[in-house]
Structure 1
């Protein structure tokens, strides 16, 4: 009997790009994923991660039934409904004894592609009246939201990369990450086209990355000097009167104070401090401010944000964009007008700064509070370990792997092992799930409906992200769960707990309002009480109730559609008095602290002569898929990349086992030559490695870079983000 094969459009949700793909199913099994040439936005593009979806779905390590940890530490299968029964009872007991704050939730990056799941998880934690909702955002790039609160938003929206004359990227490699700056819809082709038509790209990166190799100017500084470089560029632009004086006069305040704050960042000083050619800094500033018709923007990525002063860096990037007038103006097309979200009403005017931190729940450690970026995740392990009133006793993890992703792995291990209840929703027994009391086995991408609403939402969190067109796509379930499996969707798990705990659940659709404290329209409130047969499709319908393009219309186009939306940025309101702030007091003070740093002494530390920076991997999304031969190609570890001259100077050879040691801890690794790096820099991929006791398995698991990072020594005083880049390290032979 010949096999039954079908091929239909799908959406890859490994990252926020949400590429339109074609999925082939043979005899009920996902067998192939390719780019969809009929998709008008992606035009057949997909990446290695998307093409590996069949292997991810059919991974022999995949959990097909939920698991419960026994008293002897072993796991046995448990039905999802029974697991919900038991978890609901344990949660209620903890709440009754210790209060709602004793229950926390962590939403990881892999939870975001399932919009109903993320919102239902948030609805559940609010229903039990716990403020302890944490996400991956505050251990990645929380400074983006903090900076927007301090600076204010430009309501006209971003400039279009595809028409820009110049662009600057700092510590990001979008040709691999597809995250920020270059649109994620085939970024390689998009960059080639832009350069061909004359766009000038500036990249600031200690590594000559794939993106930096295409730049007109590649500034290759010492790690951690991004703030100095941007401050120096601002000074050059102000001194040479290259800024947009009319735009600033009408829309911003604090120019005099900003000029005074950057006065010490002369081109010579910055060149010495960052170890870059002074001429290159001057050329970059002039090019960015004057090339073409003053079109283009500046975006910073994870690499830059991981170093100290990430919030300040993002703030200065906004200031640089504003003084050069690099925002969309009245009469110009609205770049991201929304499709499955309410229409984005763009106006050529500011939304003023607003409260971004210091409100809401106050943590018991390091004077940290809730922020516009969310609760400080780097402090959650301390909240679990610190005894007393308010101690976290239970943690639910959805779409995340704290043991691989959180800083200070040893502390994280102690924290997770001390919990009264740890529940994970996970497709396999990850490092974190191996410590859990319950592991709920969820459906995977092609087993659930999908839509592109999430890729629209992220534009509200930072500039340079989101699909740059009125594009939308919805696809139904493409493949059934494997035979004999007992799987649930994450949102159904939280709805199940709600029913069992008799909670009043109100589904607050943050996607309808933009998220955070910056809301362009009130959120939709969806009452989930009493629902027993609700489907994911029906949840999507409610989430899209106020969408610009009706949900049913989007469903009519299975390959996706770019809609005929000809919105332009409206004129400024006659009574608008709002201004963008170029001199936020906190940020100006922090810039003064950077200027006062004794950078020369810090670099003279012979005990830790190298600086460790993060590096994206083209085949993996954080810790997902590292055990798949299709993706790791026989290299399941994350090397310690070093310049070959630096390796030779240590008497080592590429491929040697080494120990990488920071002032906090050490990890084993495998050194690998890479001449794209500065000689004083090491680069490693994050989210690899096993538990601390498994270091001998470095070739099979890699190394956990987070173990080198303490959470309570150098950290952002607003977000709690510790210094996870520009880490001082030494490298010695042997593991």
Structure 2
């Protein structure tokens, strides 16, 4: 139990994947303050507004301190967590016995990130009941990253380090806010200032002059949805002008002639006309990236670019551009991300060849979708719930996610969740999804559980340009007890409790779903547990780190975190290695033909829907979390419809006016706000806001749900099922009330 008085100890903020090192002050058993830790060697005192708001998040009056059960009249009443687990296990057993294991699905959201054992144990549970219906937020965000890597292959020497790069290109991402990709998330502002200060040239492609774009040497501000054409045009110019790394191509790359042929029609003049950008700017950006300095740097795309159609192709072309310029670490150079709490490996200057990325495993009953290297197609799960017949999903467990706020087509999602026989959420408050649940299990929160940075290392296997760029690690113990009188359960223990009641034995392979084991010399750790296992989270972490490069105990001996002395350099290519990266994948390049065939002039002249809606990151929120906290929302708990001032004036509107935003699929209310960083033909909104569909009159108190504008069964990716969630055609009209 926490002792009276004041203590300040180092901890880890886990709101996002950066895992900032912080100092947490506890006063009389209550988390009172969180600041950056100046003694942390990686973050050096940095933290963001979200991390500093952790006391408000922990002590939120709306926080659930007891699990909840829905009553016959629709209200909720507290229920003992163990009793709730008893009842849930019984209902799951009945559904499985009656309809089969496929009737039970599980969804993992991004708020599982703070608790690394939770997604692993949840996955172990769903496999133990032999259901293939395991879904994550990955396939409604950027599934193209993993799909493209499967088609292209991995470079086993790893990424070029940002702190040594001469140039860098970012497409539809704003890492100064998202801390997600490209610029290292460990104090991205400082990292970018240092890079520009030593002469690095940044190229940003974004319809908005974002915080990151404002620091770029070249900012290309195109019409939304033209990122594929722009990157294809740059590849074409670099090939035509002979700016490729021919030695690297000859030794390590296949498919070059196919790529050159596929991009041949994407001339600078055509791309400039299509994207509505100066042709000279395109040419300058391509030449700068290909030739500046010692030709070191990479290309990364983000959520904004992936939300438009052709996300797989865009990510693939980014890899191709990186590869034809030879922008990977070479033999004798330092390893950028050498692992610390993950197993050691030998980086090599060679390719891991392409591998099967889609078309295998479980086949959904809708749209011909299958499992993929990015996971099951989450955008199709609502259909799997609503579609009658054999195989229908009748129970859903949500962990760390809020489908009613995050999934596309909110009205369909609402119908689907209400039609379930059983909906269980593990949630810290009565979110939109939990307001529809049969049971809400109240979990512990960040500082009430131990923490480690293994997950922040792991994400490098999802995409280039991510993960911790050093042999850094940190472990933090529990820093505060749960509130007195509460009945809270760690998420992974909920699944262990289900396993005990359902007589299941579970096991998980650490690094599941990330491809981590594919590239490691020591095998991933297999953790086995049955219902009678009495494990603590601390003991489970020890098992998860059993093969780590640096023992967990050694990491824990440095409470402020440590950059360990790991002398890792890229080894020479194996003498018998003939593997190559593939820049000529037939499926990807066939899609490029479809892009060329698009009638962009007609779409541009659409008078019914003259604007294009793009997503926008919010500096104070992680998806739907924290929007109701005054410290974070600053008195603005809604997501404005940002528009250029001239576009607002042309509609006879003013900032602060209520408007209706209408797509070909649906409409939402919003509050218009001027933003001169946008193109005049663009509107930008933050996702994951809003209430239930019946609560549109509360738009100033809740915001609105952009996902409602998006259909899931029209204009979707044939591999991942990801619908068009950006570059959405819309119109904006005045709204009264």
TM-score where L is the length of structure 2? 0.99
- Following the alignment from structure 2 to structure 1, what is the Cα–Cα distance between the partners of residues 368 and 184? 37
CA displacement, residues 45-97 of structure 1 (integer Å, 9 cap, x when unaligned):
00000000000000000000000001110100001100000000000000000
Partner of 1:687: 688
- Following the alignment from structure 2 to structure 1, what is the Cα–Cα distance between the partners of residues 619 and 369? 35
1:198 aligns with 2:199: yes
Partner of 1:710: 711
- Following the alignment from structure 1 to structure 2, what is the Cα–Cα distance between the partners of residues 328 and 83? 52
Q: Tell me, what secondary structure is at the counterpart of 2:526?
A: strand
Aligned residues of 2:496 and 2:531 also touching (Cα < 8 A): no
Partner of 1:78: 79
Aligned residues of 1:641 and 1:673 also touching (Cα < 8 A): yes
CA displacement, residues 604-653 of structure 1 (integer Å, 9 cap, x when unaligned):
11000000000000000000000000000100000000000000000101
Aligned residues of 1:457 and 1:514 also touching (Cα < 8 A): no
Correspondence 1:384-423 to 2 at 5 A: 384-423=385-424
1:552 aligns with 2:553: yes
Partner of 1:129: 130
Correspondence 1:231-250 to 2 at 5 A: 231-250=232-251
Partner of 2:139: 138
1:34 aligns with 2:26: no
- Following the alignment from structure 1 to structure 2, what is the Cα–Cα distance between the partners of residues 397 and 312? 30
- Following the alignment from structure 1 to structure 2, what is the Cα–Cα distance between the partners of residues 302 and 86? 39
Partner of 1:434: 435
Partner of 2:94: 93
CA displacement, residues 294-323 of structure 1 (integer Å, 9 cap, x when unaligned):
100000000000000000000000000000
Aligned residues of 1:513 and 1:523 also touching (Cα < 8 A): no
Partner of 1:356: 357
TM-aligned CA deviation for residue 504 of structure 1: 1.6
CA displacement, residues 265-310 of structure 1 (integer Å, 9 cap, x when unaligned):
0000000000000000000000000001010000000000000000
1:452 aligns with 2:450: no
TM-aligned CA deviation for residue 421 of structure 1: 0.1
- Following the alignment from structure 2 to structure 1, what is the Cα–Cα distance between the partners of residues 551 and 232? 45
Aligned residues of 1:36 and 1:42 also touching (Cα < 8 A): yes
Q: Tell me, what secondary structure is at the counterpart of 2:397?
A: strand
Cα gap change, 1:428 to 1:190, in 2 (>3 Å) = same
Aligned residues of 1:512 and 1:546 also touching (Cα < 8 A): no
TM-aligned CA deviation for residue 526 of structure 1: 1.6
TM-aligned CA deviation for residue 603 of structure 1: 1.0
Partner of 1:257: 258
TM-aligned CA deviation for residue 524 of structure 1: 1.9
Partner of 1:161: 162
Partner of 1:302: 303
Partner of 2:65: 64
TM-aligned CA deviation for residue 532 of structure 1: 3.5
TM-aligned CA deviation for residue 31 of structure 1: 0.2
Aligned residues of 2:85 and 2:497 also touching (Cα < 8 A): yes
Aligned residues of 1:660 and 1:732 also touching (Cα < 8 A): yes
Aligned residues of 1:338 and 1:456 also touching (Cα < 8 A): yes
TM-aligned CA deviation for residue 515 of structure 1: 4.2
Partner of 2:601: 600
CA displacement, residues 357-383 of structure 1 (integer Å, 9 cap, x when unaligned):
000000000000000000000000000
- Following the alignment from structure 1 to structure 2, what is the Cα–Cα distance between the partners of residues 631 and 567? 41
TM-aligned CA deviation for residue 519 of structure 1: 6.1
Partner of 1:486: 487
Partner of 1:626: 627
- Following the alignment from structure 1 to structure 2, what is the Cα–Cα distance between the partners of residues 620 and 271? 35
- Following the alignment from structure 1 to structure 2, what is the Cα–Cα distance between the partners of residues 345 and 415? 47
Q: Tell me, what secondary structure is at the counterpart of 2:530?
A: coil
Partner of 1:14: 15
Partner of 1:345: 346
CA displacement, residues 582-610 of structure 1 (integer Å, 9 cap, x when unaligned):
11010010000000111101111100000
Aligned residues of 1:638 and 1:688 also touching (Cα < 8 A): yes
1:496 aligns with 2:497: yes
Q: Tell me, what secondary structure is at the counterpart of 1:77?
A: strand
- Following the alignment from structure 1 to structure 2, what is the Cα–Cα distance between the partners of residues 482 and 449? 16
- Following the alignment from structure 1 to structure 2, what is the Cα–Cα distance between the partners of residues 587 and 532? 47
TM-aligned CA deviation for residue 551 of structure 1: 1.0
Aligned residues of 2:67 and 2:440 also touching (Cα < 8 A): yes
Q: How many residues are matched?
A: 734
TM-aligned CA deviation for residue 666 of structure 1: 0.2
Aligned residues of 1:171 and 1:300 also touching (Cα < 8 A): yes
- Following the alignment from structure 2 to structure 1, what is the Cα–Cα distance between the partners of residues 121 and 184? 29
Aligned residues of 1:512 and 1:521 also touching (Cα < 8 A): no
Partner of 1:461: 462
Partner of 2:661: 660
- Following the alignment from structure 1 to structure 2, what is the Cα–Cα distance between the partners of residues 222 and 52? 36
- Following the alignment from structure 1 to structure 2, what is the Cα–Cα distance between the partners of residues 462 and 189? 22
Partner of 1:293: 294
CA displacement, residues 521-547 of structure 1 (integer Å, 9 cap, x when unaligned):
533222212544210000000000000
Partner of 1:336: 337
Q: Tell me, what secondary structure is at the counterpart of 2:619?
A: coil
TM-aligned CA deviation for residue 507 of structure 1: 2.4
1:208 aligns with 2:209: yes
Q: Tell me, what secondary structure is at the counterpart of 1:313?
A: helix
Q: Tell me, what secondary structure is at the counterpart of 1:370?
A: strand
Aligned residues of 1:242 and 1:290 also touching (Cα < 8 A): yes
Q: Tell me, what secondary structure is at the counterpart of 1:494?
A: helix
CA displacement, residues 471-527 of structure 1 (integer Å, 9 cap, x when unaligned):
010000000000000000000000000000001211222269844866665332222
- Following the alignment from structure 1 to structure 2, what is the Cα–Cα distance between the partners of residues 173 and 320? 20
Partner of 1:425: 426
1:571 aligns with 2:560: no
Aligned residues of 1:297 and 1:321 also touching (Cα < 8 A): yes
CA displacement, residues 89-141 of structure 1 (integer Å, 9 cap, x when unaligned):
00000000000000000000001221101100000000000000000000000
TM-aligned CA deviation for residue 30 of structure 1: 0.1
- Following the alignment from structure 2 to structure 1, what is the Cα–Cα distance between the partners of residues 522 and 260? 36
Correspondence 1:614-653 to 2 at 5 A: 614-653=615-654
- Following the alignment from structure 2 to structure 1, what is the Cα–Cα distance between the partners of residues 424 and 691? 19
Aligned residues of 2:104 and 2:396 also touching (Cα < 8 A): yes
Partner of 2:52: 51
1:507 aligns with 2:522: no
- Following the alignment from structure 1 to structure 2, what is the Cα–Cα distance between the partners of residues 234 and 196? 28
Unaligned residue ranges in structure 2 (runs of 5+): none
1:669 aligns with 2:681: no
Q: Tell me, what secondary structure is at the counterpart of 1:589?
A: helix
Q: Tell me, what secondary structure is at the counterpart of 2:505?
A: coil
Correspondence 1:572-587 to 2 at 5 A: 572-587=573-588
- Following the alignment from structure 1 to structure 2, what is the Cα–Cα distance between the partners of residues 511 and 294? 35
TM-score where L is the length of structure 1? 0.99
